[in-house]
């Protein structure tokens, strides 16, 4: 189970009506069937968020059914492997299109109606690697650092409209995310611990209810990011040691 499916399950369990969007119609149907037991309304829309016309159609269909969107979650993402010197520029553009440009496109499609309806919450699923860069995932690191910058600016711009922006920083999560990564296969990886997608999703529901700003799923993630910001040279030495020989 990936984070997207887990989010659908967690919000349905909390009683939220859902609009589910993904590329695969079959997968959407499976997820909708799974959460039907929660007795919530569910609309599925097959879209490619890198296509502007698809995102416009998603917004039109969602708003025609629900009238308004209270919580918008940008979860679409793709990984990317490879050392900086080996990055495939075309693949890097694809990574940035999915992880950075697509969330902006979705926000532009939905924010005006959210503001007109009195506000809401925008959830940006980022990553610990948007806070701490590690070797051999530079393209992905860059996309998530940039997404964080967009989120921070949007939070200030949308505050007067009653919209809160929640940035979520999961660490390594049990899913097939890495299997679908762009770039060089077999890039070195260091995984000290992993979390379930369900853990991430339940934490996101709690954050939306509380109106939080930044969300780390575990204390280890929060400590890592704090230490890297406070003691960057020490963090570099630790990462160099962790990747030595990989």
CA distance 157 to 173: 31
Closest CA to 79 of 181, 169, 175, 188: 181
- Out of 136, 140, 193, 243, the active site residue is 140
Sign of the Cα pseudo-torsion (26, 49, 188, 175, in order): negative
- φ/ψ of 124, rounded to 5, equals -110, 115
- Identify whether the C-beta of residue 97 lies closer than 8 Å to the C-beta of residue 50: yes
Distance CA 168, CA 230 (A): 20
Query: Measured in whole angstroms, how far is the alpha carbon of residue 89 from the centre of its chain?
Result: 22
How far is 45 from 58, CA to CA, in rounded Å? 6
Distances (CA, A) of 123 to 5, 50, 145, 180, 235: 15, 18, 15, 23, 28
Q: Is 140 a catalytic residue?
A: yes
Residues forming the active site:
140
């Amino acid at each position: 189970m990936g984070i997207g499916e887990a989010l659908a399950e967690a919000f349905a369990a909390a009683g939220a009506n859902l609009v589910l969007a993904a590329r695969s119609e079959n997968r959407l149907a499976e997820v909708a069937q799974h959460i039907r037991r929660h007795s919530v309304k569910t609309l599925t829309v097959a879209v490619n968020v890198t296509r502007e016309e698809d995102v416009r159609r998603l917004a039109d269909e969602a708003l025609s059914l629900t009238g308004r969107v209270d919580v918008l979650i940008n979860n679409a993402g793709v990984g990317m492997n490879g050392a900086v010197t080996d990055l495939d520029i075309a693949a890097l553009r694809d990574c940035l299109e999915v992880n950075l440009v697509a969330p902006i496109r979705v926000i532009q499609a939905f924010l005006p109606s959210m503001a007109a309806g009195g506000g809401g919450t925008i959830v940006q699923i980022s990553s610990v690697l948007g806070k701490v860069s590690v070797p051999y995932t530079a393209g992905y690191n860059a996309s998530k650092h940039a997404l964080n910058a967009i989120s921070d600016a949007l939070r200030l711009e949308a505050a007067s409209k009653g919209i809160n922006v929640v940035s979520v920083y999961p660490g390594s999560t049990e899913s097939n995310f890495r299997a679908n990564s762009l770039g060089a296969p077999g890039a070195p990886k260091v995984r000290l611990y992993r979390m379930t997608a369900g853990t991430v999703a339940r934490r996101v529901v709690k954050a939306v209810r509380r109106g939080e700003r930044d969300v780390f799923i575990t204390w280890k993630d929060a400590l890592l990011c704090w230490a890297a910001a406070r003691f960057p040279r020490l963090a570099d030495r630790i990462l160099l040691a962790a990747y030595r020989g990989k």
